[in-house]
Structure 1
Amino acid sequence: MILFPPRNYELSGAKIRTKRDSTTKIHYPQYLDYEKVVKITERFEKADSDVVYVRHLTPNTTENRSIVALELHSDKLTKKPGILIIGGLNGMTWAVPNAIFEIAEKLLYDTGYQTPFFNDYDWYLIPLANPDGMHFTTKIRDLPPVDTPIWSTNFTARIGTRPSQWHKNVEKKDKESCFGTNVNRNFAYHWQDDVHKTPDRCSQFYAGAKPFSSFEAQALKHYFNGLSDSSINLAIHLHASFVPRKELILYPWRFSKRQPSNYATLQAIGEYAARQARLPDGRLYEVHQSSTDGRVAGSVCDYISGVVGTELVYLVKPYFPAFPNYTDTDIIENYVNRALTATLGLVRGWRRSTKLNTLYFFGKEIEF
C-alpha cells in the first residue's frame, strides 16, 4: 500500500524506470577526462532518452571543447522546480565530475533517491565547466611543483615543472608570457568590485580583460538565459576546499559584506544540510556568507543570484587535496561521498523549509 506517493506520481517516469538496489560503491572510481565526460553523458542519453537530455553549450573553449549539460526530467508533461548544479569550474577540482555523475546515477537508477528527489524536480547538471583547465592540470600532474608566481612569469622555471596551483582556464593571446583567466571571477555581476586595480595577468585571480571575456563564462551565460522559461529554484556550485579540515557551505553575497534579503533562510537550509552531511570525524561543514572569508567579485554564484534571480544559491566545498595521487581511488571516493551528502542535504533542507512534502503526526514532521 502506498501511503505517501510523490505529488506527480501518475505522470512520473520513475514507475517505468530501471531500478537497482542502493550501494555504497561509487560508479566512477577513476578520474574522468573530457572525453570520458562526453561519453558518459551520451551513454545516459542513449539508455534513457525519455528522461535524459544532453546539451553542448556554445561557444566552445579556447581548445575547442564544448561544455556539456546533462538535463534530467522525470516526465515531459509537468514543469517542476529546477535544481542546477555546476561543477569543474576550477582547474584543480578533478573529482567534481565523478560526484555529479554519481548524483545522476542515483537519481535515475537508485530506488532510494528516485521518489524523494528525481520525481519531484527537474535537474540541470554541468559536470565539467572548465574542460581546458582540467585537461591542463591533469596533463602536468606528475611534474615537480614550482611556486605559481615564479612558474607563471619565468619561462626557464617552466621547463619540466608545473605550477603549485592552477585555478584558471588556459586562454592565451599572441606573444603573452602569462595565460589563463579565473572563470569564477569573470561573470558580469559586480565584476572587479573586490579589488582596487586589476590583478596582474599572471595572477591566479586574474578576472579577465572584461566581464564574460572567457568562452566558458559566455557559454554558461547563454545556457542560463536559455533556462529562463524553466524555474531554477536551487543552484549549487560544487567546488572544493584545498585546505584540510575546512569544508564549507557558503551562500551570497561573495562580492559584498552586505547580507542578502533571505539571509535567514539561506543560513537555516545550509545548517540543516551540514547536519545531514556530518563529516567522518564528527565535524560539520562551516556555514556562512561567502564574503566572510574574503570578498570575491564576478563569481558564478553571485551572477545566478543577482542576475538570473535564483533565490537559493550555494557554494559547496568538500575537501580535496591539490594535485593528489592520481591513482588513489580513496581520495575520489571520499570527495564524492562528501559532495553527495552535502548537495542532497541542501535539497532536503529546501524541501523541509517549504513543507510541501511533509505531514505531521503527533507533532512530529514526517517527510515523504
Structure 2
Amino acid sequence: MVLFSPRNYELSGAKLRMTRSTGDNILFKPYADQKMVMSALEQFRRHDPEVVNVVHLTPETYENRTIMAVELRSDKQIRKPGILIIGALNPMAWGAPNVILELSEKLLYDAWYQTPFFNDYDWYLIPLANPDGVEFTHKIRSLPPLDYAEWTRNDTMRPRTRPSQWHKNVDKDTKEKNNACFGTNINRNFAYHWQDDVHKTPLRCCQNYPGPKPFSTAEAKAIRQYVDKLGDFINLAIHLHASFSPKKEYILYPWRYSLRSPSNYRTLQDIGEYAARQARLPDGRLYEVHQSSNDEQIAGTLSDYVSGVVGIDLVYLIKPYHEMFPNFTDTRNLDLYVKKSIATILSVVRGWRSSTKQNTLSFFGRDVEF
C-alpha cells in the first residue's frame, strides 16, 4: 500500500474563506457582455485580492475595448499546475463568457469545487476574447436575418437586417474608403501555418477571412502576449468554443491545420474519451472525440498556436452545442450550455489528473482517486 501525505490545507490556500454550495442555478444572467465581465472580475478581485488577479491585456481592440484575464491562484507564493481557458473568440458563442464567470465563482466560493480543483491548480481565464464581435452581434440580434453573403454585398439592407451568422471581429481597413466588408476571423489569425489551408487569401467579406497577415488583429496580439508570457506555467489549455449543429458536440485536439497526428495523440485521445464519459450529455450521447482536422482542416487557429508555438502539450477545443442568435431573454439554453461546458472542462481536468495519477492512493493494488 502506497500512501501520500494529506494536503496541507493552510499551504494550499484552502483557508476559511466564504464557502457554500451554489446548487443548480447559474448566477450570471443574461448573456454576458464586456460591461458584465468587467464588473464580475472586479467584484472577485475586491472580495479576494489575495487569490484573484485581474489583468488588462494590450493592445485594445478596434473599438477600444480591453480584453481581460482573471488569474485564480490559491497560493501566490508557489506555482501549481496551470490551466488556461479562453472563451468567446467566436462571437456567436454568446454563453462562453458566462461559463468562465460561473466557473470562476464556483472555484472561489463553492466547497464542492475548491477541493481539489481550486486548491490544486492555478487558473488563467479569459472570459471574453472578442468583445467587439460579441457587442456587435448583441446589438443586431433583434433584426430579421439575411444570408450573410447577401448581407455583406447589399449595403442598403444592412441597417434593417442582420447577417445569419457572424464569426469575426469588427475591425476595418483604414485605407478602404467605404469599408463595405469588414471584420477578421480571429481564429484564423494566429501565426502557426497561417493560410496553409487555402490556395489564396479569402475575400474580406468571407466569414473565414484570416486577415492580411498573422496577428493583424488586436485580439490575437493581446492573447499572444499574455499566453507567451505564461509559457511554462501552463500545463493544460482549453479553447471554449461552440458547435452550431444540433447533436454534433465535440472534444477536439490538435492539429487543425494538418491530418498529421501530434506525437502525444494517444494521451490526448484517452483524456478526451475519459472526459466524454464523465460529462455525458443530457440526452445520453457522448461528445465526439478526435483530432480537429478530421472534420475540416483550418490553419492559423488558437489551439494550434498554443500547441505548436507556445509548446503546451495538452490542448483541447471544447464545442458544446450553442444556438446562433438565441432568444436573449429565455436563458434556458444559456443554462444548459453553461452546465455542459463546466462539466466538460472539469472532466478534462479529471482525465488529465487520472492519467498522471495525481491525487491517487493505491490500496492493495487498486488505485483510488480522491
TM range (shorter): over 0.9
Deviations 1:88-132, CA, capped at 9 Å, x for gaps: 100111111111111111111111111111111110000000000
| SS of structure 2 residue aligned to 1:267 | helix
Aligned residues of 1:255 and 1:302 also touching (Cα < 8 A)? yes
Does the 8 Å CA contact 2:4/2:361 hold for their aligned counterparts?
Answer: no
Q: Secondary structure at the residue paired with 1:16? A: coil
Hey, what's the Cα distance between the residues in 2 that align with 1:237 and 1:191? 18
CA distance in 1, matches of 2:211, 2:51: 37
Partner letter of residue 283 of structure 1?
R
Task: Describe the SS at the equivalent of 2:120.
Answer: coil
* Aligned position for 2:172: 172
Give the unaligned 5+ runs of structure 2.
none
Decide which moves more: 51-60 or 169-178: 169-178
| Structure 1 residues 112 and 57: CA distance shift in structure 2, 3 A | same
Q: Kindly tell me: are residues 8 and 81 of structure 1, through their superposed partners in 2, closer, same or farther at Cα, counting changes over 3 Å?
A: farther
* 1:226 shift after superposition: 1.8
What are the Cα deviations for residues 117-153 of structure 1, in whole angstroms up to 9, with x where unaligned? 1111110000000000000000000000000011012
Q: 1:137 to 1:6 in 2, by over 3 A?
A: farther
Deviation track 1:180-224 (CA, whole Å, cap 9, x = no partner) reads 000000000000001111111100000000000000000001111
Asked whether the 8 Å contact 1:22–1:111 carries over to 2, the reply is: no
**CA-CA distance at 1:21 after TM superposition:** 2.1
Structure 1 residues 1-368: aligned runs within 5 Å: 7-174=7-174, 175=177, 176-228=179-231, 230-368=232-370
Q: Structure 1 CA distance, aligned partners of 2:210 and 2:115?
A: 42
How many aligned positions are there? 365
Note if contact 1:238-1:317 (Cα within 8 Å) is conserved in structure 2: yes
Identity within the alignment, %: 65
Residues 84, 235 of structure 1: 8 Å contact kept = yes
Instruction: Please report the TM-score for the alignment, with normalisation by the length of structure 2.
Output: 0.96
How far is the alpha carbon of 1:10 from its aligned partner? 3.2
Distance between the aligned counterparts of 1:135 and 1:123, measured in 2?
Answer: 26
The Cα of 1:156 is off from its aligned counterpart by 1.6
The aligned amino acid for 1:274 is A
C-alpha distance in 2 between matches for 1:67 and 1:108: 21
- 2:171 alignment partner AA: E
- Secondary structure of 2:368's aligned partner: strand
2: CA distance between counterparts of 1:363 and 1:68? 46
Deviation at 1:29, TM superposition (A): 2.8
For 1:100 and 1:267, locate their aligned partners in 2 and report how far apart those are by CA, in whole Å.
24
Q: Is the 8 A contact 2:88 2:94 kept in 1?
A: yes
Determine helix, strand or coil for the equivalent of 1:60: coil
**Secondary structure of 1:54's partner?**
strand
Task: Check the 8 A contact 1:242/1:322 in 2, yes or no.
Answer: yes
**Distance (whole Å) between structure 2 residues aligned to residue 203 and residue 361 of structure 1:** 58
| Pairwise CA distance, 1:12 | 1.9
Quick one: distance in 1 between partners of 2:82 and 2:264?
19
Task: Please give the alpha-carbon distance, in whole angstroms, between the structure 1 residues aligned to 2:305 and 2:254.
Answer: 10
Q: CA deviation at 1:292?
A: 0.4
